[in-house]
């Protein structure tokens, strides 16, 4: 096995907060535990920084227990080829499902995801993710999980017909509001601040007695943006950003209704 030597390209080491996970998910396949224990050990041996996210992070921060069929391993884009090739050298099967954001490591029917961005390109994994990571015990080993701020960011755009992670966002806000770096979250979602506002309004409606868990300054800032935006005329270019949430559900807008896809050309509104 090749062990990566830490150098100037590695995130700077800093004390990592150790937390007691509020809960852990249930594996749909009990045989997967041995696979994950071995894989996490091999990941640690590589010396490459990685984080667990997804269901394990949600369970750790909220106490919600649900079934899971895999692990979500987050890493930087430059490290994902190293991770996959190292596991390939160890005899695992690897696939690159989408080079923009996702690879997989397989052992028979068991697998885990190696994720380095979001499918819509809004969420690159970078050094900041490791600076705010937490440590928890998973299968008897201490591993790092994604921080609550980045966990919200990673789930904010998952809004498909068959999968919606808005409830996870609301529950992380409910249970971890004091640990969320709200300024950094706004910075992450600066270009898509309306998506953040939508989640915050959703939280206020779901948990009306807990509205003060969201900083007043943040609501004031986003609502002020909305007020100024409403005084402006609509854009000239017809754009459907819904494809950033679901490429399938909003395909008709691009294919038949003349709207521009993200980064593409569409019809002019008054053309």
Sequence-distant (6+) residues with CB within 8 A of 213 are: 173, 174, 177, 203, 207
What confidence tier does 262 reach under pLDDT thresholds 50, 70, 90? confident
Q: What CATH architecture does domain 1-146 belong to? A: 2-Layer Sandwich (3.30)
Question: Which residues in the chain are classed under CATH 3.30.460?
Answer: 1-146
Q: With contact defined as beta carbons under 8 Å apart, do 47 and 4 qualify?
A: yes
Amino acid 126: pLDDT? 92
Amino acid 140: pLDDT? 83
Amino acid 23: pLDDT? 72
Strand order in the sheet with 72-74: 17-18, 134-138, 141-145, 51-52, 72-74, 110-115, 102-107, 93-98
Query: Mean pLDDT, the chain, as a whole number?
Result: 89
Tell me how far apart the alpha carbons of residues 160 and 96 are, in angstroms, rounded to a whole number: 22
Against a cut of 0.75, is the pTM above it? Answer: yes
Q: What is the pLDDT of residues 38-91, one digit of tens each?
A: 999 999 999 999 999 999 999 999 999 988 888 999 999 999 999 999 999 999
Amino acid 14: pLDDT? 52
Residue from 55, 94, 52 nearest 74 by CA: 52
Share of the chain above pLDDT 90, in %: 74
């Amino acid at each position: 096995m090749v062990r990566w030597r830490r150098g100037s390209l590695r995130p700077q080491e800093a004390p990592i907060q150790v937390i007691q996970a509020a809960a852990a998910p249930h594996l749909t396949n009990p045989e997967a535990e041995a696979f994950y224990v071995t894989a996490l050990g091999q990941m640690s041996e590589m010396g490459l920084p990685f984080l667990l996210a997804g269901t394990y992070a949600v369970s750790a921060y909220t106490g919600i227990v649900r079934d899971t069929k895999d692990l979500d391993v987050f890493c930087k884009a430059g490290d994902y080829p190293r991770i996959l090739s190292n596991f390939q050298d160890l005899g695992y099967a690897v696939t690159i499902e989408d080079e923009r954001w996702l690879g997989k490591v397989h052992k028979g029917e068991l697998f885990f995801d190696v994720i380095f961005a979001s499918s819509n390109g809004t969420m690159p994994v970078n050094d900041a993710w490791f600076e705010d990571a937490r440590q928890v015990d998973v299968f008897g080993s201490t591993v790092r999980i994604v921080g609550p701020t980045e966990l919200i960011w990673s789930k904010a755009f998952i809004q498909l017909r068959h999968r919606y992670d808005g409830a996870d966002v609301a529950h992380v806000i409910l249970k971890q509001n004091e640990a969320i770096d709200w300024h950094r979250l706004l910075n992450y979602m600066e270009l898509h601040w309306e998506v953040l506002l939508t989640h915050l309004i959703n939280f206020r409606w779901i948990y009306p007695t807990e509205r003060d868990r969201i900083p007043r300054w943040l609501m004031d800032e986003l609502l002020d943006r909305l007020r100024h935006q409403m005084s402006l005329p609509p854009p000239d270019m017809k754009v459907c950003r819904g494809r950033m949430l679901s490429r399938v559900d909003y395909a008709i807008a691009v294919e038949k209704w003349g709207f521009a896809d993200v980064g593409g050309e569409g019809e002019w509104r008054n053309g």
